[in-house]
A and B are shown apart, each in its own frame.
Chain A
């Protein structure tokens, strides 16, 4: 399925979308990647419905409970596919500022992470097989804190590599120990 260009604007927000910063979105290909998980759910739904039909044909079991459950699962999968996944993916933003990196995520539950470059210990670029095929990667910033959740998924591979190199250079210049 061709990637749909879905751009949903984020509401203005003094805390989570600080005006003045150069906020950048992630690649829409992340929607495709996340939809693979939804596909699994959809397949489970279809399997439930098929099982219902088979059971009714082979025994006296009623068709409706399994068919209903399958339809419910399909409804959830459709909602995820067309509403939730695009909205969640389009809510990712990151901004490189002079001395720190901002990452925001989420619409219903919002999160903003501020990581000063001097606190970065490790910068990881990772890609699972699906994202490799799509040509996207995840950049993760590791600090000395286990609570820091600084992850930017769905960056085009070359953008991710450039970002990693820039961050590493900035981190090098500003690193301070514990």
Chain B
């Protein structure tokens, strides 16, 4: 195991293989795959990187136990003067060292128990074996065909060390994901391609089947809007500069400049800042008018305001860090996103994994004609309520073309049916902006007085349709129609539809969804 000089290795020799005599392989014989492959290990620095939290926790606990000695820092001075003995220090220090040792040992053992390998059976179907867990052993076998996405992520510290995490998402959601953290970046990219070969073969096969079975479904490669979109996107985009992973042959489609991103983010959060400024102004004015008592009174609300301020700042900084250096590439089966300033994310989104698309237009963006595009991905990360950004900010026309490229639908061309006057009682501000439009392969809804959002869902993804009517809605003969989507996607809703309108919508959604299912039926029979 070469723990030193990871740079010396080439991309070909992936993480050093474990010797056959290693204990890891001894019990791997129990795995259902009869040919036990050599398990590769993660990068040797992994235990260090993964144990820092545990270490931090233990250290904090140790310091907490000897709080008295630590707080009373005067004893250092006394000790240096020779007046006092190092009473608490050795104990605290010893405990810290002990916890360090324990956590390092635990991390090292768990690293030793972690391994992965690729197996290809006689049919050429690839499987990833992933073993982990020291006390409770986990043996996962991931069918590469079922992999929904392969991301290469680099948190800050691993990034400085040239390491990456390779994350495989399954349709089953967060719990089924496999995170190979950490590998050397070159290895991670190499593995990613290896995995994508298996999934791309699989999905290219199904895509061909689908286009035969369902001629109506957009074929990403042949989409008439595809090349056009790429040309149109340059409006929001600067000239492509060759990035280091451009060698992968993916074409750069779009890129967001930093100043555009910063301006868009500030505009998006401007209402929160305005509220804070208003509060400060109110503080000054009330102090001038009523004197210092008013100031003291105002300080009572200082804590919630500070929390709001901190939350807003961290949210904005977080989203700017996440979306900085945003680049969108076209791959043979979908698109690839690369973004991030401190931690970088590389996310591949295949067209056939997209569960829904949303066009977001905050109030102040509309004045500049900007929009953001969000996508919901099966089994994708659910960390943000927004879903994954397909485009953090772009000119509206470019965003629409991107949506068209991804779904084959131009959202502005639909005829949106409004919610009707009854909705006014329940949503006096936004009712005018509610609308539903049917497209050939999906359904879109618009909503939002201030933050306008247009959500599109292909019928192919509809799992079930739910109609819901609350007490007030019943009085007004209204109902809300939901479309239930696979795990990881935001639920689609058409709020406050008139009753027969809602009945039509439910019937139509059901019919179109079944129409999507029928060809598959024939395929099975034929």
Contact = CB atoms under 8 A, between A and B. Distances in A.
Q: A and B: partners?
A: yes
Interface of A: 13-16, 18, 99-100, 108-116, 118-119, 143-150, 173-176, 178
A178 B464 contact: no
Given A15-B502, A18-B503, A100-B510, A113 B517 contact: no
B463 A15 contact: no
Contacts of A114: 464-466, 506, 509-510
Interface stretch (B329-337, B389-397, B477-485): B477-485
B212 to A, nearest CB: 15
Interface residues of B, number: 37
Contacts of A108: 471, 474
A159 B468 CA distance: 27
A18 B272 CA distance: 46
In this complex, the member of B464, B491, B506, B516 whose beta carbon has the largest number of chain A beta carbons within 10 angstroms is B464
A148 B484 contact: yes
Interface of A is mostly: loop
Given A15-B479, A15-B500, A116-B510, A111 B466 contact: yes
A115 B469 contact: no
Contacts of A13: 499
B521 to A, nearest CB: 5
Contacts of A112: 466-468, 506
Interface of B: 171, 378, 461-471, 474, 479, 482, 484-487, 489, 491, 499-500, 502-503, 506-507, 509-510, 513-514, 516-517, 520-521, 524
Nearest to B514: A99
A109 B514 CA distance: 28
In this complex, the member of A16, A111, A145 whose beta carbon has the largest number of chain B beta carbons within 10 angstroms is A145
In this complex, the member of B462, B486, B502, B516 whose beta carbon has the largest number of chain A beta carbons within 10 angstroms is B486
Contacts of A14: 499-500, 503
A108 B378 CA distance: 35
Contacts of A15: 467, 469, 479, 499-500, 502-503, 506
B514 A149 contact: no
A102 to B, nearest CB: 9
Contacts of A175: 520
A118 B171 CA distance: 17
Given A15-B502, A108-B474, A113-B466, A146 B513 contact: no
B467 A174 contact: no
A178 B484 contact: no
A115 B468 contact: no
B463 A144 contact: yes
A143 B482 CA distance: 15
Contacts of B466: 111-114, 147-149
Contacts of A146: 487
Contact of A118 (B469, B487, B509, B514): B514
B463 A176 contact: no
A13 B510 CA distance: 18
Contact of A178 (B171, B491, B510): B171
A145 B520 contact: no
Contacts of B485: 145, 147
A99 B469 CA distance: 24
A174 B484 contact: no
Nearest to B206: A177
Contacts of B489: 145
23 contacts: A14-B503, A15-B479, A100-B514, A109-B468, A109-B471, A110-B469, A111-B467, A114-B466, A114-B509, A116-B517, A119-B463, A119-B464, A119-B517, A143-B464, A144-B487, A145-B486, A145-B487, A147-B466, A147-B484, A148-B463, A173-B521, A174-B520, A176-B517
B308 to A, nearest CB: 31
Contacts of B486: 144-145, 178
A93 B506 CA distance: 17
B470 A109 contact: yes
A143 B491 CA distance: 14
A14 B502 CA distance: 9
Contacts of B469: 15-16, 109-111
B499 A174 contact: no
A145 B484 contact: yes
A173 to B, nearest CB: 6
A173 B479 CA distance: 32
A111 B468 contact: yes
A147 to B, nearest CB: 4
A111 to B, nearest CB: 5
B39 to A, nearest CB: 30
Contacts of B514: 99-100, 116, 118
Contacts of B524: 173
Contacts of A149: 466
Nearest to A113: B466
In this complex, the member of B462, B484, B491, B510 whose beta carbon has the largest number of chain A beta carbons within 10 angstroms is B484
A10 to B, nearest CB: 13
Contacts of A176: 516-517, 520
B510 A118 contact: no
A147 B520 contact: no
B467 to A, nearest CB: 4
Nearest to A14: B503
A74 to B, nearest CB: 26
In this complex, the member of B466, B520, B521 whose beta carbon has the largest number of chain A beta carbons within 10 angstroms is B466
A174 B201 CA distance: 25
Contacts of B510: 100, 114, 116
Nearest to B505: A15
A178 B517 CA distance: 11
A120 to B, nearest CB: 9
A118 B499 contact: no
Contacts of B500: 14-15
Contact of B474 (A110, A113, A143, A150): A110
Nearest to A144: B486
B512 to A, nearest CB: 10
Contacts of B520: 118, 174-176
Contacts of B171: 144, 178
